[in-house]
Amino acid sequence: MSISQAKDEAEILHNLKLLELEAAPLEPNANERSCITKAFVAYSEEFLENIETAKAFDANVSASVKIESSCISETGGQLEDLLQELYESVINPGLNPASGGHLGFIPGGGIYSAAWGDYVAAVANSYAGMRLAGPGAVALEHKLIHWMGSLFWTEGHIGGTLCSGGSIANLVAVCTARDATSLKLNEYHRLVIYLSHQTHHCVQKALRIAGLSDINYRYIPTDDFDRMRVDSLEQQILWDLSQGLCPWLVVASAGTTDTGAVDQLKEIGHLARKHKIWYHVDAAYGGFFKLLPEMQILFEGIEMADSIVVDPHKGLFLPYGLGAVLVKDVTLLYKSHYYKAHYLQDAYLNNDAWSPADLSPELTRHFRALRMWIPLKLHGLAPFKSALREKILLARYASFQLQKIPEIELRLEPQLSVVCFRVRSVFGDEKNLHLAEYFRSDGRIFISSTQIEGLTYLRFAILCFRTHLDKIEIALSIVKDFCNKLTNS
Ligand SMILES: *Cc1c(COP(=O)(O)O)cnc(C)c1O
């Protein structure tokens, strides 16, 4: 029905009734809700019941193309058909990130209780952007930010924001660091950023988005442990100062993506402090290993950071869509991200009660704190710590076993839970890509390759909460199998 037909009051009232009826499917009744819930829960249960034996990678991606031709029509369809389509064309093809066999990139999580956080957040549709609208949702986010902040800092006017992931969190940090300088736009060409070739690419991407592509990039060489060389960093800073440039931002990694290397956070921190450089630590991968007392030593000095990025959808095993930027002085984050608008005037209660909308590029946003709060409250920290310890031990075990395979060389002992290795050069660098492909065609385990200093490397990135010893044994057996064929061919 079109609203142009409604001319007088009676007609409007009549049409309103009709429209309400027509829109009724958007508000299913209790019985209908129960049917929908049962179907989706049954579907998820089947997925979880089979997860142990499910492939980590399904190379047949043809089904995913079908979804593009599946039309959105005026009348809805059957839930069963929808679920079938979802499974075949969407969930199944390609990587299965929920599988414990996912050892590629940096694995994410997907713990079950977190899903109910999203469920409640969506049903209640709580407003997590402004304190006035969602004081509880905002307080909950605040609490989580401060809990994470207290992992790294014991003092400071700490604040931060929950983002969709580490890339956006790094972008927010870069913008905050940019706006914390006293430099004007026409002086930006004097800015210098210090990073290494092991810095995650999202930092360069963030700089470009932030309008800082043309500043001076200094890629500091790395040492034998893939860490930024502190002596080279200092020399470079001094040289830049002598040239009248403005050393602005140093980005250290607490767990690089390629090899899991943790930069010398304390030494870099001292240099940053001495020369008044914004100190950013990208701990998107490694940050939550700080929960383990025995790993503290690796993180010494992180408290000198001005900003830190962590990714709860990695190290806390939460579903994709949760990163966090933490800033030691929240007023700087505010300065860079607040906005005042007339239509939001009711929201400005007092200046000390920060609203997430003033600390992030977002206004209306997903109530993502709930999917983190529910698992932490329900399970407590102990199982998270045990799972993190297990990942570190699995990496050590895998590195021991890989060193026993004559065709394989290890890049270095794992510092965290990434094991970086390669088929020895005598067999040809391309054999590493073949091995990655061998894994993909087998499907039980997924690994990804990388390039370091011109050589191809393979990685076991062990961070999925479902990765246990059995999966690592399978991964090792696939490597051995490949190497046997290599030597016997
Ligand atoms: C994963 C990762 C990122 C990017 O985070 P996303 O959540 O994938 O956007 C940034 N830095 C490091 C070190 C990472 O491991």
Atom of ligand 1 nearest to the CA of 285: 15
| Predicted local distance difference test score (pLDDT) of residue 339 | 87
Q: Indicate which residue's Cα is closest to atom 6 of ligand 1.
A: 166
As given in the structure block, the two tokens for residue 137 are 């949702």
Rounding to the nearest 10 degrees, give the CA dihedral for residues 453, 457, 463, 469: -150
Taking each helix axis from N to C end, the angle separating 135-152 and 370-379, rounded to the nearest 10 degrees, works out to: 60
The H-assigned helical ranges of 153-291 are: 166-180, 201-209, 230-242, 265-274
As given in the structure block, the two tokens for residue 255 are 């767990």
Q: What are phi and psi of 258, to 5 degrees?
A: -65, -50
Beta bridge partners of 375: none
CB–CB of 106/257 below 8 Å? Answer: yes
Give 10-residue mean pLDDT values along the chain (489 residues).
78 95 97 97 97 94 86 93 92 94 96 98 96 94 97 96 98 98 94 97 98 97 98 98 98 98 98 98 98 98 98 98 98 93 72 82 97 98 98 98 98 97 97 97 96 97 98 98 93
3-state helix, strand, coil in the chain (%, to 5): 50, 15, 35
Atom of ligand 1 nearest to the CA of 283: 13
| Predicted local distance difference test score (pLDDT) of residue 198 | 96
**Residue 191, ligand 1, Cβ within 6 A:** no
Ligand 1 centroid, distance to 301 Cα (angstroms): 21
Cβ neighbourhood burial of 475 (10 Å; 0-12, 13-18, 19+): buried
Q: Indicate which residue's Cα is closest to atom 3 of ligand 1.
A: 166
As given in the structure block, the two tokens for residue 487 are 């030597």
Cβ neighbourhood burial of 76 (10 Å; 0-12, 13-18, 19+): exposed
| Predicted local distance difference test score (pLDDT) of residue 333 | 97
238 in helix, strand or coil? helix
**Residue 105, ligand 1, Cβ within 6 A:** no
358 Cβ contact partners less than 8 Å away, ≥ 6 residues apart: 334, 337, 338, 339
The Cβ of residue 411 has, within 10 Å, a number of other Cβ atoms equal to 22
| Predicted local distance difference test score (pLDDT) of residue 348 | 66
**Residue 260, ligand 1, Cβ within 6 A:** no
Q: What angle do CA 393, 396, 402 make, to 5 degrees?
A: 140
User: What's the length of the chain?
Assistant: 489
**Residue 166, ligand 1, Cβ within 6 A:** yes
Atom of ligand 1 nearest to the CA of 170: 10
Measured between alpha carbons, how far is 215 from 210 in angstroms, rounded to an integer? 11
Q: Indicate which residue's Cα is closest to atom 2 of ligand 1.
A: 284
Atom of ligand 1 nearest to the CA of 253: 13
| Predicted local distance difference test score (pLDDT) of residue 63 | 85
Q: Looking at this protein, which amino acid is placed at residue 332? A: L
Which residue among 163, 171, 253, 311 is best mutated to probe the pocket of ligand 1, counting the most ligand atoms within 8 A of its Cβ?
311
As given in the structure block, the two tokens for residue 205 are 């991407």
Strand arrangement of the beta sheet that strand 216-219 belongs to: 159-163, 323-327, 307-310, 278-283, 246-253, 191-195, 216-219
Ligand 1 centroid, distance to 169 Cα (angstroms): 9
Measured between alpha carbons, how far is 418 from 104 in angstroms, rounded to an integer? 10
As given in the structure block, the two tokens for residue 173 are 């940090």
